[in-house]
Structure 1
Amino acid sequence: MLVVLVGSAFGAYFIYTRITPPAQSTIVGHAFFLSSGLLGSKNSNQGITDELQINLQNLPDPQPSKRYYAWLLNDKQIDLPAAAIGSLPLNHRQVTMTYSDPLHSNLLANYDHFLVTEEDANQPPTNPSLDTNTWRYDAKFSSRPNPSDTVNHFSLFDHLKHLLSQDPKLKLIGLGGGLDIWLFRNTTKILEAAGSARDAHNGCTPDPNNGTCAFIHRALVRVLDYLDGSTYVQADVPLNFDVLHQQPPGYLRHIGTHLREMTSSPGVTQEQRTLAIRITQAIDNVQGWLEAVHTDAVQLEKMDNSQLSQPGALSILNDLFTQANHAFLGQFDPNTSTVKEGVVQIHNNSQRLATFDVSPCTITNSKNTCS
């Protein structure tokens, strides 16, 4: 709720390895999106969901002179060319492959259908065969609008795109990418500014013209800017912030809304529902930590140099950094050896939402179930 859509800074973008869930009886594996982190400008979504990891098991050998080929499609946007992932390296009936888009284009922004065909090994196809009898495995993110959503008519695919690929409200204000990456970036910047303010305290003196104290104040304003947004930061310097009337909605609240609506969307899987519950709990954790950061930053920003240079101010600066660190990394509980999850875990689990459950194609009443 506190980290709003009008943030504008970049942060490091970390890539986390995703664990493929155990295969069900009709599922031969999974394909999921990754991000290279080779980001462009702030209004570009390049380097986000620009990779695809494919893990398949128990695939029979293709027919002689044939190979398996993987594709990404958009069934509703017929003018969009299929993305050729390439031939699948089958080894002992298993496939493990990572595809990276050569231009680092955002794949999830356009493609909701993963397909495996069996075609000529000697002449690799440039497009998937129109003969659906060659289609062997596939998976789709549902594009069917949620009938309960009578306002936006969002589908499961829409929610995944807004969270991970490109959110329309972010795009309107010139920010490329989904809600997840901007929450990650801005929380990184909050942690950096909190650390800088704390580390500079030793040089702060009661002198009204002390440059180090001025640096700390600037760092605190940056923290509040990321928490409140540029529209509201002036309300905290020196007044209190009105969280309830924050517009546009903050990242945490906006992500939570998409998760709630996604869980009732047609085509959502139990794994996605389970992840949504876990992410929502982490959002509550982060909300509490960032509210503590907000309280500390406002209190410190109101101090003059005489007050800011005192040991009591350093204690608050230490707490500011601790709370920001918890918000980003989570908090380890040594008693249970578990982590109370933060933004890093939100980021990791949000990417896991965009996982294809790959199943065999079958012929029913002369129609291929993958078509």
Structure 2
Amino acid sequence: MQAPVAPVPPSPASPSAPPSLPPGRRRRQWRGLYTALIALVILVLLGSGLGAYFAFFSKSSPPAPIPGGQAFFLSSGQFNTGTAQGIGDQLDISLQHVPDAQPGKSYYAWLLGDRQPHIETQPLQPQALFTLPLLLGKLSVNNGNVSFFYKGTAQHDNLISVTSRMLITEEDTNGTPRGPAADRSAWLYYAEIPQTSYGNPALSALDHIRHLFYKETRLGVLGLPGGLDVWLFRNTEKVLEWSISARDDYHPQVTDPTVIHNLFLSILDYLDGAPNVQVDVPGGSPVAADTTISRVALLSVAPAQVNLTDLANNPPGYLQHIALHLNGVVQAPDATPHMRTLATQIIEALNNAKMWLQQVRADAQQLVKMDKFQLAQSSTQTLLDNMLANATYAYIGQLDPKTNQVLHGVLQVHYDVAGLATLTISPNLPQNI
């Protein structure tokens, strides 16, 4: 090992050269600089790439929403039990993302007939006041939205009886068009209720909906115009009304049970139907309820009803009959997912109502056979309370305490059946109308 050498001070006339590094240290320094340079290049490339990516997508606008919406048939409630008036006699149109009409133009909504027009063999009376296509009115656009309500004709004609499609056109603002423009370029939006026939007999989703919402052929023969839904709704409401009267009018010291017995008879007339009620009431009992309305039961209690073997005289009860048509909607090849889901939910509500009305029937079967001495027993009050509770559930539903969910009844069925006839409006246009 050499001894340390004392450094020589530099000459003041010239600067000293930088000290020379050992070869190993020089290699390590260049390797570090090279690594840092590579990292810097990668960061620059990544930064420029991400910048371009975000710059591209920040400049790209999202796709424009597709204009469209729905139209719902509504019932004014101006019912006439001798006709289908007041049922499905109004229409509510709601559209979104609709551009303003061109200057000098307006949007018009039209109701159209079926793709394959049918002729009613026994049209309901009185004859409808409108002809097709039916002009509903001029639509106003407010910030891309359209909200329009058609209140119906003067005599509350059933709209769904002969209409099943809708067309929205853009035409001159001045004047009233007599019909949709023949020029297809003026057509903007369209909707129709599914109407492809299938099965044997060949029926479509539209046919099944009309049986529910407008006219059931078998009921018409029996003098009950209108759809199945409205009679289920009315008759269940009446059973509830009679159950309330029976409970409120009851007194243990009743001396003449005639009035309360007639209430029990009326309840069973509607539940069993006049052709079948004799199995539940004392022999020789008269039909206490309306003799025409009670011809069709709420429940199917006889083999002829269940097996559909005497449709002309003893058709299935409303609960069974409505479920048959709902299953027809579910199985229709062109039914929408919404229609299938809604029909399934309605069937569940019908099953709930059936369970509760069967309990009403069981209580009424006991009560109708009691004389004044048996009616005076304390157990009678319990039966009356139970009958009223189940009649109430059948009509409005019940909150299930286990799940905190509502088990729906006939009232929800009545609302949801109208939803089956929803018109889904879109820019998808037919080749012709």
Which AA in structure 2 matches 1:354? A
CA distance in 1 between counterparts of 2:78 and 2:228 reads 18
CA contact (8 A) 1:33 1:351 kept: yes
1:96 aligns with 2:155: no
Residue of structure 1 in register with 2:84 after alignment: 45
Residues 153-199 of structure 1 show CA distances to partners (whole Å, capped at 9, x for unaligned) of 11111011111111111111121211111100000000001111111
Residues 56-87 of structure 1 show CA distances to partners (whole Å, capped at 9, x for unaligned) of 00111111111000010014339952111000
Residue of structure 2 in register with 1:351 after alignment: 418
> In structure 2, which of residues 228, 234, 237 is the aligned counterpart of residue 185 of structure 1?
234
Q: Give the CA deviation at 1:235.
A: 2.1
1:162 aligns with 2:211: yes
> In structure 1, which of residues 262, 267, 275 is the aligned counterpart of residue 334 of structure 2?
267
| Runs of 4+ with deviation above 6 angstroms | none
Normalising by structure 2, we get a TM-score of 0.73
1:115 aligns with 2:167: yes
Q: How does 1:244-323 map to 2 (within 5 A)?
A: 244-246=303-305, 247-323=314-390
CA distance in 1 between counterparts of 2:402 and 2:222 reads 44
> CA separation of 1:340/1:242 partners in 2, compared to 1, >3 Å: closer, same or farther?
closer
1:33 aligns with 2:73: yes
1:56 aligns with 2:95: yes
> CA separation of 1:78/1:233 partners in 2, compared to 1, >3 Å: closer, same or farther?
closer
CA contact (8 A) 1:201 1:309 kept: no
Q: How does 1:139-218 map to 2 (within 5 A)?
A: 139-146=191-198, 149-150=199-200, 152-202=201-251, 204-205=253-254, 207=255, 210=256, 213-218=257-262
Which AA in structure 2 matches 1:63? Q
CA contact (8 A) 1:43 1:171 kept: no
Higher strand proportion, which one?
1
Q: Give the CA deviation at 1:26.
A: 5.4
Q: Give the CA deviation at 1:267.
A: 2.1
Residue of structure 2 in register with 1:77 after alignment: 117
What are the ranges of 5 or more consecutive residues in structure 2 without an aligned counterpart? 1-64, 120-130, 284-299, 306-313
Q: Give the CA deviation at 1:203.
A: 6.2
Q: Give the CA deviation at 1:132.
A: 2.0
Say which one has the larger Rg.
2
Percent identical among aligned pairs is 41
Residues 7-33 of structure 1 show CA distances to partners (whole Å, capped at 9, x for unaligned) of xxxxxxxxxxxxxxxxxx756100010
Residues 292-318 of structure 1 show CA distances to partners (whole Å, capped at 9, x for unaligned) of 001100111111110012211111011
Q: Give the CA deviation at 1:125.
A: 0.5
1:231 aligns with 2:290: no
What are the ranges of 5 or more consecutive residues in structure 1 without an aligned counterpart? 1-24, 363-367
1:97 aligned counterpart, secondary structure: strand
Which AA in structure 2 matches 1:226? Y
Which AA in structure 2 matches 1:93? G
CA contact (8 A) 1:138 1:370 kept: no
With a CA cutoff of 8 Å and minimum separation of 6, indicate the structure with the bigger relative contact order.
Answer: 1
Q: Give the CA deviation at 1:128.
A: 1.3
CA contact (8 A) 2:252 2:377 kept: no
CA contact (8 A) 1:33 1:49 kept: yes
> CA separation of 1:114/1:204 partners in 2, compared to 1, >3 Å: closer, same or farther?
farther
CA contact (8 A) 2:66 2:97 kept: no
CA distance in 1 between counterparts of 2:301 and 2:329 reads 29
Larger mean CA deviation between 244-253 and 77-86 belongs to 77-86
CA distance in 2 between counterparts of 1:300 and 1:321 reads 13
CA contact (8 A) 1:27 1:357 kept: no
Residues 218-257 of structure 1 show CA distances to partners (whole Å, capped at 9, x for unaligned) of 0000000110111111221138x94433331111111100
1:52 aligned counterpart, secondary structure: strand
Q: Give the CA deviation at 1:47.
A: 0.4
Normalising by structure 1, we get a TM-score of 0.85
